[in-house]
């Protein structure tokens, strides 16, 4: 009787991989590629060969939440990812069709569920196509059920109460990934019924600032400099988080908890370690309520 050796996990160089790294390993057993595109960025054609849809507009967001892109329960995540064929021994690479927009949300979700062999494709499908690499027009067939097991890590996905605590804590900082015009209330929110402005004491760091003109993430040293500069240049006269450049805890917000994860990815690469994403983000905070807005 021949007993097959178990597959060894595909090793990752870090939380970010480039197109050359993925192209050399595409199709290797144990490597799973997820397309985490959302909204208008989703396309039924032109995908990386073999990529499976990580549907953030569907079952990989909580179906009973009134807010968009809310983290599902651990049981729901486990059920969906097993259905997508994910195994505990696999290595995962996320990408999206907008360069670097929603792929980091999938990366953060898996890490929040205790799965660490996961990375984001730098530049996403845009970089893949620019490199002249092959595309596939059809979705892959159904995968054999996987054995992924969710093991949630508390504190990686947080609610508005945790954000309120952080805003009052000189040893923490809240960074908002929305565009500056939205942060300052100079542009309308894309979702109706939301207040304009930002949380008092929050720092604006648009997620696009972490990328170069090709949509690739900045180098680690440049990312660290960008975060340190943003934290040191907090709203003039606020007096909050004066020493935030060395803050032991950073919380990230955006419109619906998606691009906040780009900041989490950048901060991880820059060397920050105590990080959290505010799941409700402005979709919740901006609703008419007692939550403070300036």
The tens digit of pLDDT for each residue in 34-58 reads 999 998 777 666 899 999 999 999 9
Half-sphere exposure of 68 (CA within 13 A, CB side): 18
Residues above pLDDT 90, as percent of the chain: 85
**Which pLDDT score, from 0 to 100, does residue 242 have?**
42
**Nearest Cα to 269, choosing from 226, 208, 229, 224?**
224
**Which pLDDT score, from 0 to 100, does residue 41 have?**
75
Residues 6+ apart with CB under 8 A from 254: 176, 177, 178, 207, 260, 263, 281, 282
| Average pLDDT, integer, range 90-119 | 97
The tens digit of pLDDT for each residue in 163-219 reads 999 999 999 999 999 999 999 999 999 999 999 999 999 999 999 999 999 999 999
Domains 16-130 and 157-285 agree in fold? yes
DSSP 245: G
Domain boundaries 16-130, corresponding CATH code: 3.40.250.10
State both tokens at 204.
Answer: 């604006």
Residue 239 has pLDDT above 60, yes or no: no
Domain boundaries 157-285, corresponding CATH code: 3.40.250.10
Q: Decide: residue 62, CB within 10 A, 0-12 exposed, 13-18 middle, 19+ buried.
A: middle
The single residue of 33, 254, 258, 275 carrying the catalytic annotation is: 254
The domain segmentation of the chain, as residue ranges, is 16-130, 157-285
Q: Is the dihedral of CA 285, 59, 260, 107 positive or negative?
A: positive
Q: What angle do CA 13, 18, 20 make, to 5 degrees?
A: 105
Q: Is 261 a catalytic residue?
A: no
**pTM for the predicted model, two decimal places:** 0.93
| Average pLDDT, integer, range 228-236 | 75
The tens digit of pLDDT for each residue in 202-211 reads 999 999 999 9
State both tokens at 231.
Answer: 């934290």
The tens digit of pLDDT for each residue in 122-159 reads 999 999 999 999 999 888 888 999 999 999 999 999 99
C-alpha 254/C-alpha 80 separation (Å) is: 25
| Average pLDDT, integer, range 209-235 | 91
Sheet holding 203-204, edge to edge: 157-158, 275-278, 249-253, 172-176, 203-204
């Amino acid at each position: 009787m021949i007993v097959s050796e178990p597959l060894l996990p595909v090793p990752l160089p870090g939380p970010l991989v480039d197109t050359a790294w993925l192209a050399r390993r595409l199709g290797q057993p144990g490597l799973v590629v997820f397309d985490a595109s959302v909204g208008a960025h989703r396309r039924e054609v032109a995908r990386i060969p073999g990529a499976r849809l990580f549907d953030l507009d569907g079952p990989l967001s909580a179906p009973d939440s009134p807010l968009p892109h809310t983290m599902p329960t651990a049981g729901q995540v486990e059920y969906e990812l097993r259905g997508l064929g994910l195994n505990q021994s696999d290595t995962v690479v996320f990408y999206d069709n907008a360069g670097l927009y929603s792929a980091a949300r999938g990366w953060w979700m898996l890490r929040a569920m205790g799965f660490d062999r996961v990375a984001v494709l730098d530049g996403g499908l845009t970089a893949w196509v620019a490199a002249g690499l092959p595309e596939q027009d059809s979705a892959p067939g159904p995968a054999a059920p996987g054995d992924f097991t969710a093991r949630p890590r508390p504190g990686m996905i947080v609610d508005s109460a945790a954000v309120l605590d952080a805003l009052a804590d000189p040893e923490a900082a809240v960074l908002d990934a929305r565009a500056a015009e939205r942060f300052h209330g100079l542009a309308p929110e894309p979702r109706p019924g939301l207040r304009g402005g930002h949380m008092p004491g929050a720092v604006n760091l648009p997620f696009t600032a972490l990328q170069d003109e090709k949509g690739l993430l900045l180098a680690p040293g440049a990312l660290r400099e960008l975060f340190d500069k943003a934290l040191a240049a907090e709203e003039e006269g606020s007096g909050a988080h004066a020493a935030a450049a060395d803050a032991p805890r950073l919380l990230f917000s955006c419109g619906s908890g998606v691009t906040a994860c780009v900041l989490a990815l950048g901060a991880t690469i820059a060397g920050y370690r105590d990080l959290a994403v505010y799941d409700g983000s402005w979709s919740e905070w901006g609703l008419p309520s007692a939550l403070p807005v300036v």
